[in-house]
Amino acid sequence: MIKITTPSRLHITLIDMNGEIGRVDGGAGLTLSSPNVKITAAEADEIRIEGLQEFAGRMIKAAEVLLPEEKGVIIDVESLIPAHVGFGSGSQAALAVAAAVNELYGLEKSVRELAFVVKRGGTSGIGVTAFEKGGFIVDGGHRFKDKGAFMPSAASRVPPGPVLFREDFPDWDVVIAVPNDKGMHDQQEIDVFQKFCPLPIGEVREVAHMVLMKMMPAVIEEDIESFGAAVNHVQNVGFNKSESLIWPDFVKSIASFMRSRSYGAGVSSFGPVVYAFVDNREEGRQLQAEVQKMLDESVGGITMMTRAKNSGAEISNI
C-alpha cells in the first residue's frame, strides 16, 4: 500500500502571454506546505475511489490512462485541496493518483512523464514542479508553434515547460485567505485567455524584468522586502492585470487590505485565494484574524497561515 501527501501551490504570475519571440506562458510560483491532497492506494482488480469524492472522476481518469491491462487500484482519499480557488488542486489530485499507480506497478515514469499522460502542466509548470521538488519555481513556458494558441493548462496538450529556476524559499509565514467562492475554470478560463491575449509586449518585458531582477534574487538573498515589492508589482501588469478586471469586489478589498499589512500580497491564479508574506508570526496571526473577520462579514470562508514547502510530494510504503 502506498501513502501520498502532496503540497499545494501559489501561482504568482504568468510571464509571456504575447508570444512575439516564439514562446508563451512561463511563470513564477511557490510550493506550500498546506493545504494537501492525502491518499492511500492499493493494488486491486478494479478502480475504486473511497473517502472524499470531489475529484473522483479526475482521479479515475488519471488511473485509467496509466494502469496496466486488467489491473486496478483502490484510492482512499483522506483530504483534498479546495477546488477552483487558486491552489492547483486538479494537478495535485491527478498527480497523486498517477504517482500511486506508478509506484504500485513499477512503471518507473518520471513526474513530468506522469504529468503529460494525465494532461497537467500545459500552461503552467509550477504545480508539476511543486509536486516533484517543491520550493520557489520559475518555468520557461512553451514554444508557441507547439502549443498553437493561448489557453489554460486544462485545455492544453503539451508537456510542462522547462524549469528555469528552482530555489528553496525562505522561512517566511504566508497568510492565506480562502473566500467561499470559486475562481474561473473550464470554459470560463478559455474565454478569458482568448479575450485578453496576446498582451502588449511591453507588459511582458516588465513582468520578465521584475521576475528576473527582483523576485529571483530576493529569494536567494532572503530579502522579504524586495520579494514582496515584486509580488505587488506583478499584480498590476501583464496577465494578472487582465485577471484583476474580473475579480469580484470582495477579492479586491481583501487583497488591498492584506497588501497594506504585509510586505506583499497577491491573488493566486484565477483566485479567489489571496496570499500575503510576513516575517513576524504575531503580526501574521493578527492579520489572519482581521481577514477572517472580513470574510465573515462578506462571503464567508477561511484563513490560514502556512509556509513554503521546499520538497515535493511525500510518497511512502505503509
CATH value at residue 123: 3.30.230.10
pLDDT under 70: residue ranges of the chain: 154-155, 184
What is the pLDDT, as a whole number, of residue 156? 77
What is the pLDDT, as a whole number, of residue 90? 92
**Cβ(287)–Cβ(177) under 8 Å?**
no
Quick one: cell of 232? 505587488
Backbone angles phi, psi at 308, to 5 degrees: -70, 155
Quick one: cell of 209? 524584468
Task: Encode pLDDT of 269-283 as tens digits.
Answer: 999 999 999 999 999
Task: Encode pLDDT of 242-254 as tens digits.
Answer: 988 889 999 999 9
**Cβ(207)–Cβ(15) under 8 Å?**
yes
The candidate with the shortest Cα–Cα distance to 34, out of 316, 303, 317, is 303
Give the chain's domain count.
Answer: 1
132: helix, coil or strand?
Answer: helix
What is the pLDDT, as a whole number, of residue 152? 75
This prediction has a pTM of 0.95
What is the pLDDT, as a whole number, of residue 280? 96
- Structural domain boundaries enclosing 273: 2-317
Alpha carbons 96 and 212: distance in angstroms, whole number: 31
What is the pLDDT, as a whole number, of residue 158? 86
Alpha carbons 78 and 290: distance in angstroms, whole number: 30
Neighbouring C-beta atoms of residue 297, cutoff 10 Å: 9
Cis peptide before 272 (omega within 30 of 0): yes
Q: Could you give the angle at which helices 56-64 and 89-104 cross, rounded to 10 degrees?
A: 40
